[in-house]
Amino acid sequence: MNDLIVSLAKLTIGFVGILGPVVLLLMIMNNRDRRESMLFATVLLELNRPHLRGLFTVKIKSRPLWADTVVVDLWNCSREQVWNVIEILSAKLPTHARLEVNGITDCRVQSTWKLIVMRTQDFVSYCPL
């Protein structure tokens, strides 16, 4: 009877040793995909405005263990639209996400620019009620 229990324990440890890393990898990838879809939904919810339709593209760079990057390409937008997008998205994105805005300015057609916004803490209001 003891030999049977020892054999079953060895078999169980073998299965955990073989399947454990695969299950861990699948869990990490599932978590990454969920974060990516949540970021994509947040960005599209904020940018789905009538004055911005057709003027932007969104790319999410999600890494399994590091900070996520949201890349927004704005083309042929005015400066006010660009700053509104930066203000809205930087306030709505979580602190672990980095916002990167690429685009072409109004003054020069051949000039491109890149702005990176990274929040380290949540904004806290100190106003008394």
Quickly state the pLDDT bin for 109 (edges 50, 70, 90).
low
Beta bridge partners of 78: none
> Looking at beta carbons, which pairs linking 4-7 to residues 24 or more positions away fall under 8 Å?
none
The pLDDT, as a whole number, for residue 129 is 47
Ramachandran assignment for 76, one of left (phi > 0), alpha (psi -120 to 50 degrees), beta (any other):
left
Beta bridge partners of 100: 71, 116
Answer whether CATH 1.10.20 is correct for domain 2-118.
Answer: no
**Sign of the alpha-carbon dihedral angle for 100, 104, 105, 106:** negative
Tens-place pLDDT, residues 3-57: 999 999 999 999 889 999 999 999 999 999 999 999 999 999 988 888 888 888 8
The pLDDT, as a whole number, for residue 7 is 92
Which pairing describes strands 97-104 and 68-74: parallel, antiparallel, or unpaired? parallel
Token pair, residue 49, equals: 């405005």
The type of residue at 18 is I
d(CA 86, CA 71): 11
Quickly state the pLDDT bin for 121 (edges 50, 70, 90).
low
Interior/surface letters 98-116, b for 16+ CB within 10 angstroms, e for the rest: bbbbbbbeeeeeeeeeeee
Contact 129, 120 (CB under 8 A): no
Tens-place pLDDT, residues 67-100: 888 988 888 777 788 888 888 888 888 888 888 8
